[in-house]
Amino acid sequence: MKKSIFLKIVLTVVTAAVIFTGCSKDSSKNEPPAGENTPEEAVKQEDNKKDESSDYGIVINEEDVVFTDSSGEEISIAKNPQRVIVLQNSLLEIWDQAGGQVVGRVEESEDKIIENATSTEVVGSMGAPSLEKILSLEPDLVIISGSYTAQREMAPTLKQNNIQVINLDNDLLEDYYKTVRLFTAITGREDLYENHVNDIQKKVDEIVAKAPADKNYKAVIIFATAKNTTVRDSGSMVGEMLKDLNVANISDSVEAGADTKTFSLEKILQEDPDFIFVQTMGSDLEKITERLKSDALDNPAWASLTAVKEDRYIVLSKDLYLYKPNDKYPEAYEGLAKIIYPEVFTEQQ
């Protein structure tokens, strides 16, 4: 009897061991060899790689660069395109400094000449580029500025002709940093990005850090052409600089829903800004001056403004404050800082 019970126990233990061993072998079939990852782990590692190579939402792969352009479309651009056309001079300057070359460009201003592109084909103006001329150059990439309606409207036709299009904004400092990151990724010049942007960002940050925060200065930015006079708020390039330097823009106080570009002499007189900064656009300075006189300067009340009485009416240079300063952003920030805080930003600093 005892012998029978003992045999039953032994058989039970042996059977259980066989079953357990079989289960272990079956489960091991789904396990990767030692040192390899599961599919889930592989996906996770790939995502981590993408995150590590991403900057400003730009993913840099071995053969291409993936990002979302100003149109909101996620696009993939093959690295090192051979035939490129750039339809804005400020973007062309960045492309050139990123090691890129072009076969076509738009008309340039004498204040914004890109030496390496002067011998390339001109395809019209920024506001009216020639689609026919662009197509005749057989580009594989066209870089457009989303600020121009004519450029946006030709994008679908370019894509239908198997031409890649990048739609970009280059209005603010962050746009500049992102554009340099994108262009150096496409041209494969990582060295230019690291050295170029890091140096510029450091200099700008140092200038901004020195700007006093307790002066409570106010300013207005007047944008004058031969046809009209408008103002700019802190959403503009110069407006952003002034905001970073702790200067309040009186156009920011316009009621929600109103046009913050509308020039109002009444509001300027009411706010009495400490500084009046003027941007001019156009080659006919005489007509621009006439427009300014008609809209503001000839009004008897104009002379009563604090900025006018204290000689703080400043016409800004085009190279730094109308066209995008790009790699000269530190110079542009410092120029404004010296005007606003001469006691801090002296010529020797």
Q: Name residue, tokens 């407006």.
A: 239
Residue 346 CA to residue 145 CA, distance in Å, equals 37
- Tell me the per-residue pLDDT of 137-154, one tens digit each, with 9 for 90 and over: 999 999 999 889 999 999
- Are 300 and 336 in the same domain? yes
Residues 308 and 224 in one domain: yes
CB 224 within 8 A of CB 291: yes
- Residue 330: give the domain boundaries: 211-340
The share of the chain scoring above pLDDT 70, in percent, equals: 81
Examine the domain organization and report whether 98 and 121 are in the same domain: yes
Rounded distance, CA 339 to CA 50, Å?
Answer: 44
- Cα–Cα nearest to 198, from 330, 52, 15: 330
**Do 132 and 223 fall within a single domain?**
no
The overall longest dimension of the chain from CA atoms, in Å, is 126
Domain stops at, among 173, 202, 231: 202
Q: 20 is written with which tokens?
A: 């357990």
Residue 300: DSSP 8-state: G
Q: Which among 326, 328, 340 is positioned nearest to 221, based on CA atoms?
A: 340
| pLDDT on residue 347 | 57
Residue 89 and residue 192 in one domain: yes
Q: Which of residues 346 and 39 earns the better pLDDT score?
A: 346
Closest listed residue to residue 340, CA positions, set 315, 319, 316, 312: 312
Surface-to-core class of residue 17, CB atoms within 10 Å of its CB (0-12 exposed, 13-18 middle, 19+ buried): exposed
CB 226 within 8 A of CB 282: yes
Q: What is the DSSP letter of 220?
A: E
pLDDT in tens, 319-343: 999 999 999 999 999 999 999 999 9
Query: What does the CA dihedral 172, 176, 177, 182 come to, rounded to 10 degrees?
Result: 130
pLDDT at 112: 74
CA distance 97 to 180: 9
CATH number of the structural domain spanning residue 315: 3.40.50.1980
Read off the pLDDT of residues 68-110 as tens digits, 9 standing for 90 and up.
999 899 999 999 999 999 999 999 999 999 999 999 999 987 7
**Per-residue pLDDT at 43:** 47
Report the domain count for the chain: 2
Residues 58 and 194 in one domain: yes
